[in-house]
Every structure is written in structure tokens, then in C-alpha cells.
Amino acid sequence: VSGLFSNPVKSTNADGTTTLQGTWEPYACGNGSCEGYVQAGARSVFVRFPNSCPVPVRESQIVVTGRLAPDLGNASYRAVGCARPA
């Protein structure tokens, strides 16, 4: 049981990317782009996917690798690939 104190940031990898895991909640998807939130417990991070990625299903458990993207806001990541099931 992960609970309220879970964190969607699972690890920082040697190449500087970060592995994120949690429940997907889309914010704005369309015209080939998609961005939203990966949530675990009470914490969430914002993620923008590359234009070539399929949109994850709302409330699905996903894993995605990304790089910090301060230009998108605090606790924001730009995915380096598409989401995969957790």
C-alpha cells in the first residue's frame, strides 16, 4: 500500500532523466500533443509528452521517463518517450 505519502518521482537515472510512476490525469490533449499530471498519493507532477505519443487512458497507472522542465512550471517534466503501463 503506497498511501497518502507516495511520490510519483521514483528515481533519477544516470543520464539525468527521472522515472515517474503513478495515475495519469490529462490536462490538455489534442492536435497531436498531450500534457497532464502523474499522481501518486497526495503528490503530482506535470508531464508533457512528445507529439508522437498516444494519449494514456485517464486514471491508468503509467511509468514515464522525463527531464525536468522548469520552463513548464514547478515540478514539471518533459517526457523523453511515451508512457507505458505500470
Residue 2 has what pLDDT? Answer: 61
Residue 5 has what pLDDT? Answer: 83
How large is the average pLDDT for residues 41-53? 95
Q: Which positions ≥6 away from 14 have C-beta within 8 Å?
A: none
Q: Find out whether 29 and 49 touch, Cβ atoms under 8 Å.
A: no
**pTM of structure:** 0.91
